[in-house]
Amino acid sequence: MRWVKSSEAAAILSEVNGRPISTDYVRVLASKGLIRSKINEADNSTKLYAADDCEGRKIYGRTERRVEVRVKDKRSGKPGGRPRKDAAAS
pLDDT beyond 70 at 75 = no
Against a cut of 0.85, is the pTM above it?
no
Which is more confidently placed, 7 or 56? 7
pLDDT beyond 70 at 90 = no
Amino acid code (one letter) for 51: A
17-67 tens-digit pLDDT: 888 999 999 999 999 999 999 998 888 888 999 999 988 888 877 655 554
Spell out the alpha helix ranges (H) of 1-90: 6-17, 23-31, 51-55, 85-89
Task: Give 70's pLDDT tier (boundaries 50, 70, 90).
Answer: very low
- β-bridge partners, 46: none
* Tally of CB atoms within 10 A around 83: 13
pLDDT score for 84: 58
Helix (H, G, I), strand (E, B) or coil at 48: strand
Q: Are 60 and 16 in contact (CB under 8 A)?
A: no
